[in-house]
Structure 1
Amino acid sequence: MPEPGAQRAADAAVPLTARGGTVAQWVVTVAVAGAGIATIRPMGPGGQGLLVIVLFGVNCAVLAVRLVPEESLPATWPDSPFRTCWAALAVAAAAGLIAAADSGSSYLFAFFLVGLIGSRFDTRPALALAVLSSALCAGAVNLRAEPDERFAATLLGLSTGAAVLAGMAGRSRAQATRAAIEAAESAGKTARAEARTAVLAERTRIARDVHDVLAHSLAGINMQLELVDALVDTGDLDRIRAANGKAHDLVRESLKQAQWTVHSLREDSLSLVDSLTAMLESSGHRDALTIEGEAGTLPVRVTQGLLRVAQEALTNAARHAPGSAVTVRLECTDATAILTVLNGPPTLPEATVPGSGLGLVGMRERVALLGGRITTGPVTEGPDRGGWRVRAEVPR
């Protein structure tokens, strides 16, 4: 269903021949009828005057059809043979009025009738009816014209058919207007669908970010608290304190990651370099960031995506390679931004907090949404052999 604003625009833009009951149409109809009453002669109770009155009434009724919108007519009316027959009889009535009247503006009815036919009929029947009108009206005016006036009278009669062109032009404008309005409505629907898709995509991204913050940490906290519950009955205070301490560490880490998430979700987030620097310092890895090229101002989506990749990589390094050195390298070109997070082998016992197994999947999804690619895997050579590398490359 068209929106109210679009419908009002359509109603305002469609020509008079395509809509019914407008003020202008009423004014024209009343003006033509009034001019006929004032000028057409003879009009009287009998003989020729009565014939003129009857034909005048028929032509006024035909002219009033302009006030009826096509939407109000029966659905079968446009394809009905009766419609063409009715139009032909109306043309004959208009020509008959011209022939019956001795003077006046009787020819105006023919012009308006042919214009109406041009606006509401297909091209072929409209042209055929226009030719019929020209022929009948030319013959009608010649019946009463003086010999020296017949040429001008014939031209006047033939010119009634030309009004079909004005009607056809109005119909074309109406169709073009409707097509433009339909196209605008379709574009509006497409835009709304795209907006809904964008909202869903944003919800998915936020859900992924929330998962990164909560899934790992809450699972670990829950495990440590369950361990504390299990150890209470044993009275092993050292193990209880150790498990409780790990739970506190996980809470602090969760708060820190929540701050990163809120930061990365903000549209007015800091630059990628500043955000990475703050993230590394809060993780205890100072001077671990290396920049190659000019980072400049990256799109918000790129900054957010790379920050989430870095966050996940640092979380995995802290979980699976505690005590290892971490380096982060950001390479920027005119076309791409490449983030590499590298950690060495663990130097401390690996944490017993399990992961959800969805961290790498989430990183791949983020980078894919940015139109980039990501590679992850163990380091097999060099001083960091036994560690892990994450490399994300996305277009700028």
Structure 2
Amino acid sequence: MQWALTLAVIAVGALTIRPVGLSGRGLAVAALFVVNSAALLARRLPEHKLPQHLVFTWLTLGIVAAAALMGVSSSGTSYLFAFFLAGHIGYRLKTAQALVLAGACGLLCGGVLYFHLGPGHHLLPWTLGLTTGAPVLIGIVNRSQRQAVRAAIEAAESAERAARAEARTAVLTERGRIARDVHDVLAHSLAGINMQLELADALLDTGDLEKVREANNKAHGLVKESLKQAQWTVHALREDALPLVESLTAMLASSGHRDVLTVTGTVRAVPARVTQNLLRIAQEALTNAARHAPGAEVDVELAYAASSTALRIRNGPATRRVNAGVGSGMGLIGMRERVALLGGTVTAGPVTEGPHQGGWQVEAVIPE
């Protein structure tokens, strides 16, 4: 549209502005027409490639040439150059500069006509010259709209960059969570299975089939326990998992600990992430209790407070021979990472009093 208007103004000027020649006043009109056309065509130059002082100089020379053309020509539409340049002044320059230069344009063009400085003054009223600076207001409005659109685009781009960064963070967080889940399900059990299989392999050379059979049975038991833990993990990771109390009850029952859950406070729905992480913490604590304190009693308490949800798991001392095997040592670290992601705290340590004295306790508190 701007290109079409610019070319239309130049075309109409070429057809109407007179006199045009190769000498005298005709040559002056032709030269000023070329200068005005060049100043008008320069509107299409990219903004970022021209410094402000050069733009100001170019537009100042343009309005001087436009006023001169109005005075030198005896007929035609020379005033259109002043109108269009004034509009572009408002678009290209800052508001204060634009208003000053547009005012100068109006005074210069009006003065040329008012003081009869050229042969064309009788064709145009001097008040028309004063109004040549008025289009600056249109240019200022267009510039404001352009800046508003640019600001909206930049805000959208910034929001998109922030969303991408958040998505990358979420991916990294999810990777960390999956790594912890893999550890919880596989690290302990695979280490124990490997140890029993290595023991069985070593015992084959001794010919003690009873001990080989015992190691093999332990390995089978660990495999069954691993499958059970895998089921717990899948259940805990599902977004449509049962509510926390029901899920925790089912987990305890499947691990052989029935009627050991105590719930205090008003039961309420908690976010899926809280449910998943509390279930994984419970699974880790139960696994450690079975490994380090076989045969011990287990007590689980789920407490709903006004602004938090707490899970406490206690086990007593072992009542059978401990054969813990080799672990990765990452269980407690994984618990702390899980709770830290939710802004909570976790504590773990020996029980020093009460019926579980000599055992171990894990307590996680997650705020809401």
> What TM-score do the two structures reach when normalised by structure 2?
0.91
Answer yes or no: is the 8 Å Cα contact 1:115–1:163 preserved in 2: yes
Partners of 2:14 and 2:30 in 1: CA distance: 9
Are the counterparts in 1 of residues 32 and 65 from structure 2 also a CA contact under 8 Å? yes
User: Within 5 A, what are the aligned runs for 1:1-396?
Assistant: 24-43=1-20, 47-71=24-48, 73=49, 77-79=50-52, 83-144=55-116, 153-396=125-368
Secondary structure of the 2:125 match is helix
Q: How far did residue 295 of structure 1 move?
A: 2.9
Q: Do the aligned residues in 2 keep the contact of 1:102 with 1:144 (CA within 8 Å)?
A: no
SS at match of 1:323: coil
Q: Which residue number corresponds to residue 10 of structure 1?
A: none
Q: How far does the alpha carbon of each residue in 1:283-323 deviate from its partner, in whole angstroms, 9 at most, with x for none?
A: 11112222223333211110011001100110011111111
SS across alignment from 1:131: helix
Q: CA deviation at 1:59?
A: 1.9
Contact 2:39–2:58 under 8 Å retained in 1: no
Identity of aligned residues (%): 60
Determine the C-alpha separation between the residues in 2 that align with 1:46 and 1:362. Answer: 92
Q: Is the 8 A contact 2:294 2:321 kept in 1?
A: yes
Q: Distance in 2 between matches of 1:85 and 1:371?
A: 60
C-alpha separation in 2, matches of 1:292 and 1:125: 72
User: Higher mean Cα deviation, 372-381 or 29-38?
Assistant: 29-38
Letter in 2 for 1:55: L
Shift of 1:93: 1.2
SS of equivalent to 1:363: helix
Tell me whether 60-69 or 269-278 shows the greater mean CA deviation. 60-69
Amino acid of the residue matched to residue 51 of structure 2?
A: P
Q: Secondary structure at the match of 1:294?
A: coil
Of residues 340-349 and 235-244 in structure 1, the stretch that sits farther from structure 2 once superposed is 340-349
Using the TM superposition, give the Cα deviation of residue 165 of structure 1 relative to its aligned residue in structure 2, in angstroms: 2.9
Q: SS at 2:236's partner residue?
A: helix
- Aligned letter for 1:62? A
Amino acid of the structure 2 residue aligned with 1:27: A
Q: Which moved more, 1:280-289 or 1:157-166?
A: 157-166
Shift of 1:38: 5.0
Displacement of 1:45 in angstroms is 6.5
CA distance in 2, matches of 1:137, 1:297: 77
What is the Cα deviation at residue 49 of structure 1?
Answer: 4.6
Moved over 4 A (4+): 41-50
How many residues matched?
364
8 Å contact from structure 1 (residues 380, 386) kept in 2 = yes
1:279 CA displacement:
0.8
Deviations, residues 197-250 of structure 1 (Å, cap 9, x unaligned): 110011001101101111111111111111111110101111111111111111
The alpha-carbon deviation at position 168 of structure 1 amounts to 2.8
Deviations 1:256-285 (A, max 9, x none): 111111221222222111211111111111
**C-alpha distance in 1, partners of 2:268/2:327?**
35
Find the residue that maps to 1:374 and give its secondary structure.
strand
Q: Distance in 2 between matches of 1:352 and 1:85?
A: 86
Give the residue type in structure 1 aligned to 2:45: V
Q: CA deviation at 1:25?
A: 0.9
Distance 1:352 1:376, change over 3 A: closer
TM-score by length of 1: 0.85
Tell me if the contact between 1:99 and 1:143 (Cα under 8 Å) persists in the aligned partners: no
Give yes or no for contact 1:345–1:384 (8 Å, CA) kept in 2. Answer: yes
Counterparts of 2:46 and 2:52 in 1: how far apart (Å)? Answer: 16
Q: Deviations over 1:323-376 (max 9, x none)?
A: 112121111134211111121222211124233222112112211211111222
How many Å separate the matches in 2 of 1:85 and 1:354? 81
